[in-house]
Amino acid sequence: MIIYSIYDKEVVFGNQGYGEHTNISYSNMDIGGVSVQVSKTNNADLRIERILSTNPRDYLNPKLQPGCLIQR
């Protein structure tokens, strides 16, 4: 694999430098037909991190705003 990036491969693959949140694990799920990336919070709830959609309307949906918690 060849990386063509302005970052060195130590930054891309290593854990040095950028941020303390290196042990967050992300997963994807589907809410009402929209794919979102979620992370686990301390209370085992899921928090929406990112919407994986090309439809600009999905980003206006108040239920899908990044930071929203999802009850399990």
Partner 1 sequence: MNNNTEASPDTKPSENENQNNEIQEIKEFGTTNLPQEESNIHCLSIIGQVEGHILLPPHNKTTKYEHVIPQLVAIEESKQIEGLLLVLNTVGGDVEAGLAISEMIASLSKPSVSIVLGGGHSIGVPMAVSADYSFIASSATMTIHPIRLNGMVIGVPQTYEYFNKMQERVVKFVCGHSKITKESFKQLMLKTGELANDVGVVLFGEEAVQTGLIDAVGGLSDAIAKLRELIDAKKAEDNQGGVIQ
The closest alpha carbon to 62, from 39, 37, 31, 41, belongs to 31
Binding mask 16-45 for partner 1 (x = CB under 8 A): --xx-xxxxxx--xxxxx-x---------x
Q: Is the dihedral of CA 39, 45, 51, 52 positive or negative?
A: positive
When asked if residue 15 is in the footprint of partner 1 (CB under 8 A), the reply is yes
When asked if residue 66 is in the footprint of partner 1 (CB under 8 A), the reply is no
DSSP 58: G
**Least CB distance from residue 13 to partner 1, whole Å?**
6
Q: Count residues contacting partner 1 (CB under 8 A)?
A: 46
